Amino acid sequence: MGNYYNPPDNVKTVGRRLLSTTYPKLVAELRDGEALVGLYDRIVFKNAPHLFSQAEFYEFETQVGQGLQREGFFAVCKNKPGFSYPIK
């Protein structure tokens, strides 16, 4: 796994909330220059991974069934400061 947006809760203000819940539909909601970011709560900490592929999406979504709580999906500008490394 790879890139995260930090601090995680900031995606709520810098990102645009997406309404879909499947990867193809979420990607279809993205505009040019935006990245798909999920916001998840692990109780002791939150994380906001860049969901750059269907495999990455499923990696986190399968954990939702194991107690990970999803707070939503967001479209975040790729050049917005906060990503752990630059997104192309």
Does residue 42 form part of some domain?
A: yes
The range of the structural domain enclosing residue 71 comes to 8-77
Q: Domain for residue 66, yes or no?
A: yes
Domain count along the chain: 1
Residue 68, pLDDT > 90, answer no
In a domain, 30, yes or no: yes
Model-level pTM? Answer: 0.92
Write the pLDDT tens digit of every residue in 4-42: 999 999 999 999 999 999 999 999 999 999 999 999 998
Instruction: Report if residue 85 sits inside a domain.
Output: no
| Beta pairing class for 16-18 and 69-77 | antiparallel
Q: Is residue 51 part of a domain?
A: yes
Kindly give, in sequence order, each residue whose CB lies less than 8 Å from that of residue 29, ignoring residues fewer than 6 positions away: 18, 19, 20, 75
On whether residue 2 sits in a domain, the answer given is: no
